[in-house]
Amino acid sequence: MPGNIRGLIKRIREQVRSALRFDGLQFRITVSSTIIALLAIALVSMALYFRYQENLIDRTLLNNSQLVEQVGVNLDTYLLEMTDLSKYLEVQIQESKNSAELERTFAVVSGMREDVVTMAVFDQSGDLLASSTERQLKPQLLEGEAIQSQDWFALAADKESSRPFSVPHVQNLFFNNYRWVISHSRAVRWDLLDPDEPVILLVDVNFRLIEQLCSQVQLGRRGYVFIMDSNGDIVYHPQQQMLYLGVKQEAVAEVMPLSDGSHQIEYNGQDLSASIYSLGESGWRLVGISYLDDIVTAVDDMRTLILILVLLGTLLVFLISVQLAAFMTRPLQRLQRRMKEVEAGALNTVAEEGGAYEIKQLAGSFNTMISQLQQLMNQIIDDHTKLRKSEMKALQAQINPHFLYNTLDSIVWLAEDGDNQSVVTMVSALARFFRLSISGGHDLITIADELRHAENYLIIQSIRYKDR
C-alpha cells in the first residue's frame, strides 16, 4: 500500500511538472479549464455572497421586527390589564359608600397584584380621600397644590389629554416608598361626594415588569429596545442614566416621523435598523434599534468562508484539470515517443490508434507514412542491388572479351613455340574458367567454385607471365 501511494504521488508530480511546461498542450488545457472553472466559481460565489447578504439583512430586520412586535403585544396586554384594573376600581369607587369600604377593596387588589404599588383617590383640591397604603403622605404634599402639580394629576384632570399613563418616575407621595413606577390616572365620579366634581383615581404599578420585558430582547450583538411617548420623551431606555446625564443621545428625531415596521436610518454616521411598534393603550411607541454593522460582521465571516471555499475549489479544479489534460494528451505523448523512435531509425514502429477522433486520425496517418516509408526504403534497396548487379554484368561483359583475346593470343604463341603441354594446361584452365563464369545462369555461386574460378585464372596468368 505505501508503494502504491508513493507511485501515485510520483505520477501526480510528473503530471503537474508536465502541466507546468508553458509551451505544452497539457499546460494550455490545464490553464484554460482552470480559468474557466475559476470564473464560474467566482461568479457563483459572488452571486451567493450578495444574495446571502441581502437575505441576511432582510431576515435580520424581519426577526427584529417580530421580536419588537412580540414585546409590544406583551406590553399592550400588560397596559390593557392596568386599564382594566383602573376601570374595575372606577366601578368599585362608584359603588363604595365610604372611604373605608374603598380601602378594603384596595387591600384585596393589592393582595392579588404584586405589581401594584399604590392605589389612591384624591379630590379636585388634591386632598387624599382613600389609599391602599397605611403610610402617610409626605408633609410637603399635604397641601393640595402640591398634589395638583403632579403630572399624573394633570393628565387625569385634562379632559382633552389622550395619555392615561405617565412616564416612569420615583413614587414620592408616601414615606419609605421610593420605587420606580408608572402612574395610570383617570377622573372618576363618586356619587358619595359632589357628582359634578369627579375624583382622581391613581394607580401606580412597578416599572420593573416593563423593564424586564424590554431588557430580555436581544437585537444582534449591540441592539436594544426603548419606549418613547407621542411627544418624543423617553419612557424607558436601557441606558436611561446616560441619557439623563447627556452622555448618550438617542435617534428620537429620526424615529418620530416613521410608521410602524422596519426602517433603515442613519444616526451619528452609523447605519441602524429601527423596528417600531405602537402601543395602543398608552400612546407609546416601542422602538427596537439594531446595528447593521453587526450584520456586516456576519457577512464578512461568510465572505471569508466563501473565499476559503473558492481557493479550495480552485486547487481541486487545478488537480482535476491536470488529470484531465494528462488523459487527453496521453495518446499524443505516446505518438510523440513513436516519432522519436522513428527518428532514431526504428522504422518498424507502429503507433497506437487511440484517444480522440483527431488523434486517431493523426496516428493512422503516421502509421501509413511509416508503411510507405518502409516500402520506399525496400524499393530503394532493391533498386540499388539491381543497379550493382547490372554494373557488375556490364563490367564482366567488358572484361571477358579482352581476357579471352589475350589468353588465345598466349595459346597461339605457345603453340608456335611447340610448348604443347602448356597449351593443354592453359586451354583446360580457360575452359574451366568460363564454365564457372557462366555458372548455369545463377547469380550466386559457392565459395569452393569461386576458389576454383580464381585458381583457373591464376593458372592462365602464371603460364602467360611465367617469364616475369
Q: Give the pLDDT score at 21.
A: 59
Domains and CATH numbers, the chain: 95-207 (3.30.450.20), 358-464 (no CATH)
Query: What's the rounded Cα separation, in Å, for the pair 407 and 389?
Result: 26
CB-CB contact of 89 with 201 (8 Å): yes
Query: What's the rounded Cα separation, in Å, for the pair 246 and 267?
Result: 16
Of the candidates 426, 420, 415, 408, the residue with the CA atom closest to the CA atom of residue 463 = 426
Helix (H, G, I), strand (E, B) or coil at 11: helix
| DSSP E strand boundaries for 40-189 | 116-122, 128-131, 169-170, 180-188
Q: Which residues contact 408 (CB under 8 A, 6 or more apart)?
A: none
Q: Give the pLDDT score at 287.
A: 92
Q: Which residues contact 94 (CB under 8 A, 6 or more apart)?
A: 188, 189, 190, 191
Q: Can you state the angle between helices 420-438 and 447-464, rounded to 10 degrees? A: 150
- φ/ψ of 247, rounded to 5, equals -75, -35
DSSP per-residue codes, 317-350: HHHHHHHHHHHHHHHHHHHHHHHHHHHTT-TT--
Which of the residues in the chain have pLDDT under 70?
Answer: 1-26, 139-145, 159-163, 176-177, 281, 298, 347, 355-357, 392, 394-403, 436-444, 466-468
Q: Give the pLDDT score at 177.
A: 66
- C-alpha 161: how far from chain center: 59
Cell of 99: 372611604
Q: Give the pLDDT score at 444.
A: 67
Pairing of strands 285-291, 270-278: antiparallel
DSSP per-residue codes, 268-288: TTEEEEEEEEE-TTT--EEEE
Among all chains, which residue has been given the C-alpha cell 491536470?
Answer: 322
Among all chains, which residue has been given the C-alpha cell 449591540?
Answer: 222
Q: Give the pLDDT score at 306.
A: 82
For residue 263, what is the enclosing H or E element?
Answer: strand 261-267
Cell of 88: 374595575
Q: Give the pLDDT score at 272.
A: 87
Beta bridge partners, 262, equal: 275
User: How many CA within 13 A on the CB side of residue 81?
Assistant: 14
Q: Give the pLDDT score at 186.
A: 87
Residue 20 DSSP label:
T
Q: Which residues contact 434 (CB under 8 A, 6 or more apart)?
A: 404
pTM of the complete model: 0.58
CB-CB contact of 160 with 190 (8 Å): no
Of the candidates 200, 198, 205, the residue with the CA atom closest to the CA atom of residue 186 = 200
